[in-house]
Structure 1
Amino acid sequence: MKVAAIQMVSGIEVAPNLQAAQILLAQAAANGAELAVLPEYFCVMGRRDTDKLALAEPLGSGPIQDWLARTARDLGLWLVGGTLPLACEPPQAGRVRNASLVFSPAGERVAVYDKMHLFRFHDGERAYDEAAVLAPGDTPVCFDLPSNDGHRWRVGLSICYDLRFPELYRRYATQGADLLLVPSAFTFVTGQAHWEVLLRARAIENQCGVVAPAQGGVHENGRRTWGHSMVVDAWGEVLGVRAEGAGVVLAELDPVALAARRRQLPALEHRRL
């Protein structure tokens, strides 16, 4: 199955971000991608964290969700909207959910995952605290993706900071996942230090493919993100990467090769708790 990790440098207004994403997704589809994954905050990187509050949509209705459904249908893609702000149910004053939504090529929503682990970082120069405006999710989510090659991929969803919590991915592996998605907006500092090694570790230890689209560049709000969107196979090999700037990372994931790796080294069967 050909997959696409979409790298963006999102700005502070939704409409230009969706236009930019549309161009990149059309490029992915034209090059044969079946699955395309947008990065975290693909629709907006606001001047302030609280800008998300005004853009929150109820699940199932809203211009960003409508755009995702329409784009998946028009391009014939399995499309993952990295994250968008969804209203909390029940409502929570001053907080939204940071949610990843999956749409089939028919434009049907098939999965919703709310980011479980919320980033907090302070190094004396930069400070981030997602919990100030985000409500954490509490449920891991998998979905099934029947690809054109006849293989039914079991796909586990995660977002950015989740990457530091291996127990989430091990749970997906024990539920039969063979592909993990990690749409992200890693900071330049933490990404430079840990991004690739964590992605490859999650792939190796769970014997799963990984698709990890990212924000990558200097944004309109002044923030700098690490980028290096990549696709990693179950052996930990990086199949494709883009360091900076908007673009598409395309790679082939082979279920036959994945199954062979698991037979050669059946590490998941050797676990002792």
Structure 2
Amino acid sequence: MKNYSYIGISFVILIFGIIVVPEIIDRINEREVVSSNRSDGQEERASENIELEYIMVNQEKKKVPAFEFIDQHGDTITNKDYEGKVYIAEFFFSTCPTICPIMKENLVQVQDVFAKNDDFGIASFSIDPQHDTPGVLKEYAALNNITHPNWHLLTGKREEIYDLANSGFNIYAGEDENAEGGFAHSGYFALVDKEGYIRSRKDRHGNPIIYYRGSVPRKSIVEPGEEEPQIDILIADAKKLVNDK
């Protein structure tokens, strides 16, 4: 009887090895593949030759409205200063303890790509203008390697900045005592073409993505379902608009 028991146990182990172990190995290999490709393939998609969409609102192309603010050098900057330039717009504040440092680092990397291109710019609008005076913003620029001559850190009347964010760009910004730092805002970047229209590529479903995620580090590795980096595709799309005649 004991021999038969041993034979039975050995048979079970053999079946386990034949059926179950290969499945476990396949799952491990699959997990390794997923782990090594957990980003959304933005580098591959960045190389795609695609057409950029206009953002349509009430069947009209969405254009950035006129604005006028003061930059870190104390100069008056308006939307006309960006005419003929492709630029990225963001809303931030210098004391932001959460997503702004990531957004800034991403934009510094974008700035470096376009360092010698005068047809490119960045507009960073402070949503805490009471604190973010031109002097504060100038120091912030120096501390954070903001060097592109067309990267303007802008401050002015709070109501005008909030109106530009929420109505002009449809990118939320506002005071929030429950938010870290006292202000709530999205981590999106808007891409604006040489004529002042907001542009973007389409997503996998054929719809414009409208804005680009600025609060996800450029080279971050993400798990399925997490927000994926979009800085490489933003750079590619900005280059396309810069090169368009």
Scaled by the length of structure 2, the TM-score of the pair is 0.26
The higher radius of gyration belongs to 2
Bigger fraction of residues in helix: 2
Bigger fraction of residues in strand: 1
Q: Using CA pairs under 8 Å that are at least 6 residues apart, name the structure with larger relative contact order, 1 or 2.
A: 2
Scaled by the length of structure 1, the TM-score of the pair is 0.24
